Amino acid sequence: MGARLNAFASPLAGKALKHFVAAGKVVEDSPLPAATQELVKIRASQINGCGFCTDMHTKDAAAAGETSLRINLIAVWREATVFTDAERAALELTEEGTRIADAAGGVPDDVWANAAKHYDEEQLMALVTLIAVINSFNRLNLMLTIPAGGYKPGQHM
């Protein structure tokens, strides 16, 4: 299976993706903890079924020192005891923000309030931005059928 289009060869994609990457860099440099950022990217990618992004972010998380136990339990975070309360709140917001079409009215107030207990306004804005950015990347990769498995840690940094 190959990609439907080569995004790296497209001048339009190059211009558009530059802005996606720049938004991701703003979040990367934010006060939102790096480990939380990777958990969010992995969970949204799992929900959306984006193999390329799941491959990329699990490998990047491992290269950054995340344990295989935590990486392997992200999909079942509700039952896992290896995540902090703050990380659990971020994962819950990620799920609700990724599945936003499933909830009339968007993210429930109780989910937002739980996240707000653990993150200040700047971190919340970073978290919301990250959820939006990773969902955009997931959708782009899925529509183009970008294959998974060949990513090397740090390849797109």
Structure confidence by residue, pLDDT tens digits, 51-87: 999 999 999 999 999 999 999 999 999 999 999 999 9
Question: At 150, is the secondary structure helix, strand, or coil?
Answer: coil
Whether 108 maps to a domain, the answer reads yes
Which of 122, 111, 105, 129 shows the shortest CA–CA distance to 40? Answer: 129
Residue 157 reports pLDDT greater than 70: no
Whether 37 maps to a domain, the answer reads yes
* CATH number, domain containing residue 82: 1.20.1290.10
Please give the model's pTM, rounded to 2 decimal places. 0.92
Share of the chain above pLDDT 70, in %: 98
How far apart, in Å, are the Cα atoms of 39 and each of 4, 33, 51, 144, 145?
Answer: 28, 10, 15, 24, 23
Number of domains in the chain: 1
Helix axes 85-98, 109-118, angle to 10 degrees: 140
Question: At 5, is the secondary structure helix, strand, or coil?
Answer: coil
Whether 137 maps to a domain, the answer reads yes
Q: What is the pLDDT of residues 101-128, one digit of tens each?
A: 887 788 999 999 999 999 999 999 999 9
How far apart, in Å, are the Cα atoms of 14 and each of 7, 18, 20?
Answer: 7, 6, 10
DSSP secondary structure letter of residue 100: G
